[in-house]
A and B are shown apart, each in its own frame.
Chain A
Amino acid sequence: EPEVTQTPSHQVTQMGQEVILRCVPISNHLYFYWYRQILGQKVEFLVSFYNNEISEKSEIFDDQFSVERPDGSNFTLKIRSTKLEDSAMYFCAIRPRGGNSPLHFGNGTRLTVT
């Protein structure tokens, strides 16, 4: 059973629309991360989220992006006014509580902006 489930698995949206990508951990975790992988390119860090606030974000994570835990369980990435270049796989990762635990990645959401 995966540590984290991402929904939807594939999202198609028109340019300019808003999308919300969801990440549901199997149990309570402290650290959450979003990564992006544009087709054929490397996996890039977007943002880390600790104790219900952003702890670090990359240059990619501009005002178009936001993250939150609306109900204390789900972890969401919102992309406002999507652009063609936002098309990518978006991976959520979690870090279990305790020690130097490694990250567990979800299977990703493929976002296609047309």
Chain B
Amino acid sequence: TQLLEQSPQFLSIQEGENLTVYCNSSSVFSSLQWYRQEPGEGPVLLVTVVTGGEVKKLKRLTFQFGDARKDSSLHITAAQPGDTGLYLCARVGGNEKLTFGTGTRLTIIP
């Protein structure tokens, strides 16, 4: 089983602060995706990273894929209450089958 460990498991910070969450695996990813899931909804895709060292930005969110393609980080600048949610990384396998990480539950306090 290819486990994806995400850290921290829980994070609660004040609005306006910056934060980084991590996704780590012992094996190489062919590609990795980040999702956000809000209560009562399914996961929503934020980004896909494929190339080692790749950096992608989505407004205040910055996604980085490790050079060895075994880890990834998500950095949020000036967090807002709307960023609250469960952040999931996922390994993309054949036929787009996803193996999800353990998740980071983020709470932004107004």
Contacts and interface: CB of A to CB of B under 8 A. Distances in A.
Interface stretch (B53-61, B63-71, B99-107): B99-107
Interface string B40-51: 111111001000
A31 B95 contact: yes
A53 to B, nearest CB: 12
A108 B40 CA distance: 7
Contacts of B96: 31, 33, 95, 100-103
B97 A45 contact: yes
Contact of B100 (A31, A43, A55, A95): A43
B33 interface: yes
B11 interface: no
A107 B99 contact: no
A106 B97 contact: no
Interface of A: 31, 33, 35, 42-45, 48, 50, 55-56, 91, 93, 95, 100-103, 105-108
